[in-house]
């Protein structure tokens, strides 16, 4: 329905989630975050092999949290709102399939934070990123102070957060925030192509890779590579491992079955 705040479409093994508040530049209020949470719960129960998150229209991915909705919040209400956004974005980060952000326009504040919760970012050449919260007298509240540092390094994250500066897609690519920048008209095709490429390989191996990367980020190197070794070994209990290696040796395309 056109009034749904988050649209979900499936194309084979690829799911696309669209934040659908074009008239509000897809700003995130409580209702939109709750709708996104509901869609993520549905996806987790019927998991695609790859997912894409984008924004409705041509102007914005997500222009930020809804300032009108935040203006009169109490301290407790603001804390609860931050925790809601953090929980929803953690669900994206922990979804057992890769999630690609297709940033088609402004991704400011909560929009940059939403993109950062995805596995990686493809951006339109019209995209703009930033954490401008300090200009409103607040700080990022949906994970930006932590995920931006992990993505682009603490020095660059501090500069962007302290200044509230907005950067263009070329700069986002240069600092490692975006993986790829393409002309606006080609963005969804480029993202879909990569999503299909991911969906064609061993799904258990992709999910295990994501799990180890996430878990290893909070461990020492020695602990993380031990986690990797255990996960590597577990792959050899799967039918997909036997099929993948047999197909390679037989010089044919593998037929993976998620088992």
Q: What is the pLDDT of residues 8-48, one digit of tens each?
A: 999 999 999 999 999 999 999 999 999 999 999 999 999 99
The domain segmentation of the chain, as residue ranges, is 6-199, 203-250
pLDDT of residue 257: 86
CB atoms within 10 A of CB 218: 8
Backbone angles phi, psi at 31, to 5 degrees: -65, -40
Report the distance separating Cα 47 and Cα 99, nearest Å: 12
Read off the pLDDT of each residue in 108-118 and give the average, rounded to a whole number. Answer: 98
Q: What CATH number should be reported for the domain whose range is 6-199?
A: 3.90.226.10
Per cent of the chain over pLDDT 90 is 95
- CB contact set of 80 (below 8 Å; sequence gap of 6+): none
pLDDT of residue 66: 87
Our answer to whether residue 113 is catalytic in this structure is yes
Our answer to whether residue 133 is catalytic in this structure is yes
Please give the residue that has the higher pLDDT: either 75 or 259.
75
Under the banding of pLDDT at 50, 70 and 90, the label for residue 219 is very high
pLDDT of residue 3: 58
Helix, strand, coil percentages for the chain (3-state, nearest 5)? 55, 15, 30
Ramachandran class of 137: left when φ > 0, alpha when ψ lies in -120 to 50, beta otherwise: left
Active-site position among 93, 133, 197, 228:
133
Read off the pLDDT of each residue in 63-87 and give the average, rounded to a whole number. Answer: 94
Report the distance separating Cα 17 and Cα 4, nearest Å: 11
pLDDT of residue 29: 94
Read off the pLDDT of each residue in 173-199 and give the average, rounded to a whole number. Answer: 97
Read off the pLDDT of each residue in 99-108 and give the average, rounded to a whole number. Answer: 98
pLDDT surpasses 60 at 1: no
Report the distance separating Cα 36 and Cα 28, nearest Å: 10
Q: What CATH fold (topology level) applies to the domain 203-250?
A: Lyase 2-enoyl-coa Hydratase; Chain  A, domain 2 (1.10.12)
Active-site position among 34, 72, 77, 113:
113
Q: What is the pLDDT of residues 129-184, one digit of tens each?
A: 999 999 999 999 999 999 999 999 999 999 999 999 999 999 999 999 999 999 99
pLDDT surpasses 70 at 67: yes
Report the distance separating Cα 71 and Cα 73, nearest Å: 6
Could you give the dihedral angle defined by the CA atoms of residues 167, 172, 178 and 181, in that order, rounded to the nearest 10 degrees? Answer: 90
pLDDT of residue 153: 96
Cα 172 to the center of its chain, rounded Å = 15
pLDDT of residue 258: 75
Cα 70 to the center of its chain, rounded Å = 24
pLDDT of residue 177: 98
Residue 5 DSSP symbol: S
């Amino acid at each position: 329905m056109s009034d749904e705040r988050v649209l979900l479409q499936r194309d084979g093994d690829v799911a696309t989630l669209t934040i659908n508040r074009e008239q509000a530049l897809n700003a995130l209020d409580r209702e939109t975050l709750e709708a996104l949470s509901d869609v993520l719960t549905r996806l987790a129960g019927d998991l695609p092999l790859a997912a894409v998150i984008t924004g409705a229209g041509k102007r914005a991915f997500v222009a930020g949290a809804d300032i009108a909705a935040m203006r009169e919040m109490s301290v407790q209400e603001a804390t609860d709102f931050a925790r809601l956004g953090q929980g929803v974005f953690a669900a994206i980060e922990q979804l057992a399939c890769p999630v690609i952000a297709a940033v088609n326009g402004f991704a400011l504040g909560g929009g940059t934070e939403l993109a950062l919760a995805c596995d990686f970012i493809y951006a339109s050449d019209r995209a703009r990123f930033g954490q401008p919260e300090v200009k409103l007298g607040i700080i990022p509240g949906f994970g930006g102070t932590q995920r931006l540092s992990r993505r682009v390094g603490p020095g660059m994250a501090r500069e962007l957060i302290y200044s509230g500066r907005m950067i263009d897609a070329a700069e986002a690519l240069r600092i490692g925030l975006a993986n790829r920048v393409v002309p606006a008209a080609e963005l969804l095709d480029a993202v879909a192509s990569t999503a299909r490429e991911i969906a064609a390989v061993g799904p258990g191996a992709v999910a295990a890779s994501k799990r180890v990367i996430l878990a290893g980020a909070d461990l020492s190197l020695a602990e993380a590579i031990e986690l990797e070794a255990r996960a590597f070994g577990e792959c050899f209990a799967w039918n997909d491992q036997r099929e993948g290696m047999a197909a390679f040796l037989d010089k044919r395309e593998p037929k993976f079955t998620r088992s």
